[in-house]
Chain A
Amino acid sequence: GAGVSQSPSNKVTEKGKDVELRCDPISGHTALYWYRQRLGQGLEFLIYFQGNSAPDKSGLPSDRFSAERTGESVSTLTIQRTQQEDSAVYLCASSPRTGGSYNEQFFGPGTRLTVL
């Protein structure tokens, strides 16, 4: 079946512009995560959606970052007034996780964001 997809695969933008990154999770997965991975670094948690619960936004680095999810489907991560330090690969993952079990996360290929 189809895996997690992300678009665009690459995005080059100028400092100060807004960008919107999209994630299509695996159908039926209730949990969706966004991570940031800077060059040569591990994954940094940004935000987590679980079903209809309030999202866990504890990893968002500043108020320039926001994310939305429509029901249990598509999610968009928006970065306003981009800065050069926002340059990274943004990874989305989904999981069939519902309370009580520990499930693996399925990752998309990522969006490589470059802020000039």
Chain B
Amino acid sequence: SQKIEQNSEALNIQEGKTATLTCNYTNYSPAYLQWYRQDPGRGPVFLLLIRENEKEKRKERLKVTFDTTLKQSLFHITASQPADSATYLCALARGGFGNEKLTFGTGTRLTIIP
């Protein structure tokens, strides 16, 4: 069966360092992968999308990589700040009309320590 694993339930990083979150999947061939941020009591907020034929995507202090051979995506936050503390979710979709539904990982709760 399909499985999406995010490296750890919780990750503590010192402010200013780079936080790296991992998303691994099995029994799945996604067309694209998305990362979302979720704060307590709120719905997820979209951050980045990366397609299967893309190796890397950047947005400000965020960087996502996608390795379809390893079946893994890495999500990096550089120069981390306490405001980056949240739960980060990866989500995959097969894509194509009618296949847009996302399968989510369980999330990694990131805490940036001042």
Number of interface residues of A (CB under 8 A): 30
Q: Are B45 and A95 in contact (CB under 8 A)?
A: no
Interface string of A49-81 (1 = CB under 8 A from B): 010010010010000000000000000000000
Q: Write out the residue numbers on chain B whose beta carbons fall within 8 Å of the beta carbon of A42.
A: 4, 89, 104-107
Distance in angstroms between the alpha carbons of A57 and B46 in the assembled complex: 24
Q: Are A110 and B43 in contact (CB under 8 A)?
A: yes
Q: Write out the residue numbers on chain B whose beta carbons fall within 8 Å of the beta carbon of A102.
A: 31-32, 49, 51, 93, 95, 100
Interface of B is mostly: loop
Indicate if A21 sits at the interface (CB-CB under 8 A): no
Number of interface residues of B (CB under 8 A): 27
Assess A45 versus B106: contact at CB under 8 Å? Given A104-B34, A104-B49, A108-B43.
Answer: no
Q: Write out the residue numbers on chain B whose beta carbons fall within 8 Å of the beta carbon of A45.
A: 101-104
Assess A48 versus B101: contact at CB under 8 Å? Given A42-B107, A106-B46.
Answer: yes
Interface string of B19-42 (1 = CB under 8 A from A): 000000000000110100000011
Distance in angstroms between the alpha carbons of A36 and B89 in the assembled complex: 14
Which of B42, B46, B105 is within 8 Å of A105, CB to CB?
A: B46
Q: Are B103 and A95 in contact (CB under 8 A)?
A: no
Residue of B49, B95, B104 with most chain A CB atoms under a 10 A cut-off: B104
Distance in angstroms between the alpha carbons of A104 and B106 in the assembled complex: 18
Determine how close the nearest CB of chain B comes to the CB of A93; give it in whole angstroms: 7
Which residues of B are at the interface with A, using a C-beta cutoff of 8 A? 4, 31-32, 34, 41-46, 49, 51, 89, 91, 93, 95-98, 100-107
